[in-house]
Structure 1
Amino acid sequence: MIVVCGGIKGGGGKTTIATNLAVMRSLAGRDVLCVDADEQDSASDFAVVRNEELSGKAGFTAVKLRGAAVRSEAINMAPKYDDVIIDAGGRDSSGHRAALSVADIYLVPIFPGSFDIWTLEAVSRLIEEASAINERLKAISFLNRADAQGSENEEAAEIVKSTVGLTYLDYPIGFRKAFRKAAASGKAVVEYKPKDKKAVEEIQRLYEAVFGQIWIREER
């Protein structure tokens, strides 16, 4: 499976989602390729820290690709791995579009109360254009860095639900320090100690939705 984490507005936690899923998939015994297609190099930086902390045993292979190479190299390398996770970053770039041309799933984290909501119409057009090339592409969205309470979560969810081309997953991930602390130590939140049970439960639920294809049942 090729999973792309992206969107066209930065700051939504896309790299956090991509790296956590890559680690969790590797912990499940899968041979994982993590592709950093974002010019900010955050996923690559995470892989460097992880290898330093774990004596070179990150558990997955990390590569940095840009532009059209994201498509060509993903096609060449994907058969060698069980799963490919691509951090496409937060803007509409050639690498982002190249990733969508080979993806099975396009994961779009939405930060409630942010400019992410304003970009959904553009995201919808991007999905439509990518689907014309890649008929198997499925785009699913969820709330990331969600508030513990308040109306912004519900308002954001309703807008996502009305966005053409996106399937909404009601599996929000909260704005939790554990994700930042884990990333700084090169770990997924499921590995970090002391364990934040809510953070672990939230990312585990998203993981199971994506790789267990729960989103198909949600769509129906």
Structure 2
Amino acid sequence: MIILLGSNKGGSGKTTLACNLAVSLAKDGGDVCLVDADRQGSASRWNLEREASGTQPAITLVQKYDNLSQTLQSLDGKYSHVLVDVAGRNSREMITAATVADLMIAPHQCSQLDLDTLGELQEQVVRVMDFNPSLRVLVYQTMASTNIQVIENERRDFKSYVGEFPEFIALKSSGRYRKIYRDVMSEGLSVLETSNKLAIEELTALYKEVFNG
């Protein structure tokens, strides 16, 4: 199964999500490969920290740029799950990965700057579906507010906006703005490997919805 983490907005948490899901899948017994297709190399640095500390389960990481389609199809024959982290823009890596992906998870904040890029993403997805009609696109709310006074309204606004695009499905689960997500990236860890119960619950909810739903 090829899962693409992609959107047209930088800073939406794609790499963080890709690394955390890779660990989630591996802990559940999956044979996982994480493909770092973002030239910033954040996922690669995360994995180097993980390898240096000897943290288990180990994650197989491959760096690949430009046209990803053949590489991903090859990896798909070797691993149960191939997670692809691409740059936050309309890149060659994102488009070529989308042509062979089974699933695309598009993390977005509930901000106008983030949500405005959904229109562009929709146009790309429509074109990609001419080649890959079975592609499913799930939009995940990231960095949601922890302020109980705005959580409900923010969530309603997010679902309403995503609902304007029939090609997209708004995930029920969401991730909140928590420092722990940034902290674990510098240590080569997932939030599952911490004692932060709230972050663990958020990631577990996403995992169950996407892979066990």
Verify the 8 A CA contact 1:142 1:168 in the aligned structure 2.
yes
Alignment correspondent of 2:53: 53
CA contact (8 A) 2:50 2:58 kept: no
Q: Distance in 1 between matches of 2:127 and 2:204?
A: 31
Whether contact under 8 Å (1:182, 1:189) holds in the other structure is: yes
Matches within 5 A, 1:90-109: 90-109=88-107
Structure 2: distance between partners of 1:40 and 1:152: 31
Rounded Cα–Cα distance in structure 1 between residues aligned with 2:140 and 2:110: 10
Structure 2 Cα separation of the partners of residues 210 and 178 of structure 1: 22
| Structure 2 Cα separation of the partners of residues 157 and 12 of structure 1 | 17
Distance (whole Å) between structure 2 residues aligned to residue 156 and residue 168 of structure 1? 8
Give 4+ residue runs of structure 1 displaced > 4 Å after superposition: none
Aligned to 2:72: 74
For 1:140, the equivalent position in structure 2 comes to 138
* Residue 52 of structure 1, CA deviation: 0.9
Matched residue, 2:120: 122
Per-residue deviation, residues 139-171 of structure 1 (Å, max 9, x unmatched): 011210001231333222210121231001121
Aligned to 2:175: 173
Question: Aligned-pair distance for 1:114?
Answer: 4.7
Deviation of 1:135 (Å): 1.6
Partner Cα distance (2:102, 2:87) in 1: 17
> What's the CA shift string for 1:182-206, capped at 9, x where partnerless?
11111000002xx111110011110
Moved more, 151-160 or 109-118: 151-160
Q: 1:171 is paired with a residue of what secondary structure?
A: strand
Over the matched positions of the two proteins, sequence identity in percent amounts to 31
Does the CA-based 8 Å contact 2:13-2:142 persist in structure 1? yes
Confirm or deny that 1:160 pairs with 2:159: no
Please, what TM-score do these two structures have when normalized by structure 2?
A: 0.94
Please list every run of 5 or more consecutive structure 1 residues that lacks an aligned counterpart in the other structure: 215-220
1:179 is paired with a residue whose SS is helix
Say which SS state the counterpart of residue 73 (structure 1) adopts: helix
* Structure-1-length-normalised TM-score: 0.91
Aligned residues: 209
How far apart are the structure 2 equivalents of 1:94 and 1:35? 15
Q: In the alignment, is the contact (CA less than 8 A) between 2:27 and 2:57 conserved in 1?
A: no
Shift of 1:58: 5.3
RMSD between aligned residues: 1.3
